[in-house]
């Protein structure tokens, strides 16, 4: 059934959140709420979006503020970094629809308990929207259907220093490289360093072959459970290539705390801002998901400019599915469990993002791309 009430876009005046609100407003006139700590900024953005969009103040670290902001809301779209799960738990308690563009792995540690509570209250929670997790998960589902089963799945993402991204996105990447993580390979877990074990990945034109390093993208965490994969790996390529190489050297030298310095991760971020200006003409992104099963290999890819825009396109479509009642089963879900790939990619194509699928017969060198070590 549809989610009655408004759609609350938390962080709706940010880089991605604003785009999501703009995407949803024409389909839900008068029901989109641009929410954030800065109420005046939210009002300005809501007025610029039009279609009856309104503003609402929210502090996601304040329980009373969250309760007030959820008044009359049916669907929540979280586009902000969350240290705690206050917003998610409030949405579950009130039986709302909810999705999040960057769920921390910690959110999934208690997923069984949250799932049971969501089923009790009627909440429909899709953890992971946007590029990865989000679009990558739906690609994985489509590939699983094409192959019949999945033994190995790999997500490779290319991002550019010159692209537009907010402080939360930067913090997410720098936080992810600050510690070892678990890789699930051949049915067993092992510890690995982020930005290690480089492998060449063939990204769509005009990008071509790039070195991509192991990286803890959130989408691969649950593939062994949701898709039955015995190997699930994430990789990250950074443009320009020297930046990825430098991060890899820093990690191998055990100097990852260097990346937490104020000029990179703090309020200053002067080094990052200088690099963004220097490489502003390079704003390419790419996503490649490769799967192996039954002795065959298939892949899907998506490439373009301004990853914030495609992240918003994917998240906006998942939010629309929740608000329109097309995600109807209460519980806590991953996108590959509840999103229909065909309709999803049709919606992205209508927004100008064409995903390309290489079938098992066409993907002549996907296996080498997926398994090269």
| Residues 190-237 pLDDT 10s | 999 999 999 999 999 999 999 999 999 988 888 999 999 999 999 999
Is residue 23 within 8 Å of residue 313, measured between CB atoms? yes
How confident is the model over 340-367, as a mean pLDDT?
81
Is residue 68 within 8 Å of residue 98, measured between CB atoms? no
> pLDDT at position 368, please?
43
Instruction: Name residue, tokens 């999103």.
Output: 339
Where does CATH 3.30.360.10 sit in the chain?
A: 132-308+347-371
Where does CATH 3.40.50.720 sit in the chain?
A: 6-130+311-344
Q: Where are the strands (E) in the chain, listed by range?
A: 6-10, 32-36, 54-57, 73-78, 97-100, 124-127, 152-160, 181-185, 188-192, 199-203, 208-214, 231-239, 284-293, 296-305, 331-333, 356-358
Report residue 67's pLDDT band, with 50, 70 and 90 as the boundaries: very high
Who wins on pLDDT, 32 or 243?
A: 32
Who wins on pLDDT, 35 or 367?
A: 35
Q: Would the pLDDT of 337 be above 90? A: yes
> Collapsing DSSP states into helix, strand and coil, what is residue 162?
coil
How confident is the model over 120-132, as a mean pLDDT?
94
* Helices 136-147 and 341-350, packing angle to 10 deg: 130
> pLDDT at position 296, please?
94
> pLDDT at position 372, please?
44
Question: Which top CATH class is 132-308+347-371?
Answer: alpha beta
- Side by side, the strands of the sheet bearing 97-100 are 54-57, 32-36, 6-10, 73-78, 97-100, 124-127, 331-333
Instruction: Name residue, tokens 């070195």.
Output: 211
Report the C-alpha gap between 337 and 347 in whole angstroms. Answer: 18
Residues 333, 308, 154: CA angle, nearest 5 degrees: 55
Report the C-alpha gap between 183 and 109 in whole angstroms. Answer: 16
- Tokens standing for 320? 């629309």
Which of the residue ranges 273-277, 308-312, 334-338 would you say has the lowest mean pLDDT?
273-277
User: For the chain, how long is the longest CA-to-CA vector?
Assistant: 57
Please tell me whether the overall predicted TM-score, pTM, comes out greater than 0.85 for this model.
yes
Is residue 130 within 8 Å of residue 311, measured between CB atoms? yes
**Architecture in CATH for domain 6-130+311-344:** 3-Layer(aba) Sandwich (3.40)
Residues 140, 305, 302: CA angle, nearest 5 degrees: 20
Is residue 13 within 8 Å of residue 33, measured between CB atoms? no
Report residue 57's pLDDT band, with 50, 70 and 90 as the boundaries: very high
């Amino acid at each position: 059934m549809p989610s009655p009430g408004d759609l609350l876009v938390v962080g709706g005046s940010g880089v991605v959140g604003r785009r999501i609100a703009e995407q949803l407003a024409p389909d839900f006139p008068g029901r989109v709420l641009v929410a954030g700590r800065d109420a005046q900024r939210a009002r300005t953005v809501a007025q610029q979006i039009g279609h009856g969009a309104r503003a609402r103040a929210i502090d996601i670290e304040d329980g009373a503020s969250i309760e007030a902001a959820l008044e009359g809301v049916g669907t929540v779209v979280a586009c902000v970094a969350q240290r705690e799960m206050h917003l998610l738990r409030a949405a579950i308690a009130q039986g709302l629809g909810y999705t999040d563009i960057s769920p921390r792995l910690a959110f999934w540690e208690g997923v069984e308990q949250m799932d049971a509570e969501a089923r009790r209250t009627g909440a429909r929670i899709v953890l992971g929207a946007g590029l990865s997790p989000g679009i990558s998960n739906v690609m994985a589902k489509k590939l699983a259907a094409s192959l019949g089963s999945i033994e190995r799945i790999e997500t490779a993402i290319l991002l550019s220093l010159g692209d537009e991204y907010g402080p939360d996105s930067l913090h997410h990447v720098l936080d992810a490289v600050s510690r070892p993580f678990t890789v699930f390979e051949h049915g067993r877990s092992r510890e690995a360093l982020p930005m290690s074990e480089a492998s060449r990945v063939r990204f769509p034109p005009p990008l071509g072959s790039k070195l991509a390093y192991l990286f803890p993208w959130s989408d691969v965490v649950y593939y062994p459970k949701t898709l039955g994969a015995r190997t699930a790996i994430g990789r990250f390529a950074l443009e320009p290539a020297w930046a990825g190489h430098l991060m890899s050297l820093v990690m191998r030298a055990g100097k990852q705390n260097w990346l937490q310095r104020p000029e990179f991760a703090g309020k200053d971020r002067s080094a990052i801002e200088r690099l963004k200006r220097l490489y502003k003409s390079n704003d390419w992104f790419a996503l490649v998901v490769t799967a192996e099963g039954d002795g065959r290999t298939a892949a899907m890819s998506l490439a373009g400019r301004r990853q914030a825009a495609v992240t918003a396109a994917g998240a906006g479509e998942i939010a629309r599915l929740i608000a329109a009642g097309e995600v109807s089963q209460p519980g806590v879900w991953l996108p590959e469990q509840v999103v229909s790939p065909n309709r999803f990619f049709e919606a992205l194509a209508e927004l100008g993002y064409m995903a390309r699928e290489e079938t098992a017969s066409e993907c002549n060198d996907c296996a080498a791309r997926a398994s090269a070590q």
